[in-house]
Structure 1
Amino acid sequence: MSLVLDKIDISLNCQRLLNNICCRVEGGEVLSVLGPSGCGKSSLLNLICGTLPANFEYSGQIILEDVVLNHLPPHKRQVGLQFQDHLLFPHMTVGENLAFALPGGYRKAERRERVEQALVDCGMSGFSGQNPSMLSGGQKARISLMRTLLSEPKALLLDEPFSRLDTTLRNSFRHFVFQQVQSRRIPALMVTHDEQDIPDKGGVIRLN
């Protein structure tokens, strides 16, 4: 499984934001896009997801598992996006938040099993009935990531995923995220402004 960006240009009001972005991210790898605010990092994620506003212009191809995504609607792209905010539904339990992401077609027992396995994978077995408001910041971050992964994406986009965490939580959650990407063998593209977020031996695209 791989994510390919082929000669991506993005412009707004005739001003070039990104120029000739070319990369290939294999399953299990994390490619970091590093740059300051306003350099076009979020626009790149929006383009891959299919949510780039109509007033932007772009060229080039986005290819996921040999399928060109350019003209597919967002819900058919099979791309998961992990934000810096956890965005858990406050009116749902932890288990219900996780189950919400599961694709249709699973029977009730299967859905329950997958939710319980996700909780085991993130070290939170027994938290299914908890209210999200009772979780720590690190726990919310893990549940948010597992919810994204339960949607069964073929690629994972990470939008400043560690920026809201303190140093200790940041280090442990960073390790957890990269471990999940590697174990699931999905390609991941992460945008960040912090050099410390970049995984060891991971590829980097530097933007100005």
Structure 2
Amino acid sequence: MKNRLSLLALVLITFLFSCNDDVTRKGDQLYNEGNFKEAVDAYSEYLKTNPKDIKSLYNRGRAYEELKQLDKAKADFIAVLDVDGDNLNANLSMGKYWYNQKEFNKAIIFFDKVIELDGLRSDAYMLRGRSYHQKGDFDKAMENYNQAINFDNDNAEAFLYRGALKIALNQFKTACQDFTRSQALGSSEASEALAKHCR
């Protein structure tokens, strides 16, 4: 009898976990299809029974971002960091959040953390460079753009913003080279910059 109860409990637990996995997979599928509101609902359903599931919290935050519900996105990213302060994606997302709020010092703190965790993240260097650029600290901005390009020679945004910084520094020839590279990598903004500064 005891063995049958243990087996029944195991089957029930497996069933519950498999149902939960189905809910998170459904949320991921909805997100990938661009159905962000439905994705939020699916993740929220799962989080009712697993409130600290990092993957679902983070993915719901990303869905909220797509819905322009930035305060809710921020709350989910912070919830992830409360569970795992070293979560790379949540730190990066919080840096972007503060950058978009024009809180560049706060943004830099999160980009610093990402780089501390993974010093090869080209996107983190590029975003930290943009934050320094906005603060008017051109030396640090240039250093970060250079690092971003060092780690990913196909980072169109890093070339674009390094070019923009070079325009501000009156380095037109190399700025135009950066815009040309950025354009070749698919940046439409680089095309506009070339037309404006390099004809």
Name the structure with the higher helix share: 2
Higher relative contact order (CA 8 A, sep 6+): 1
TM-score (norm 1): 0.25
Name the structure with the higher strand share: 1
Greater Rg, structure 1 or structure 2?
2
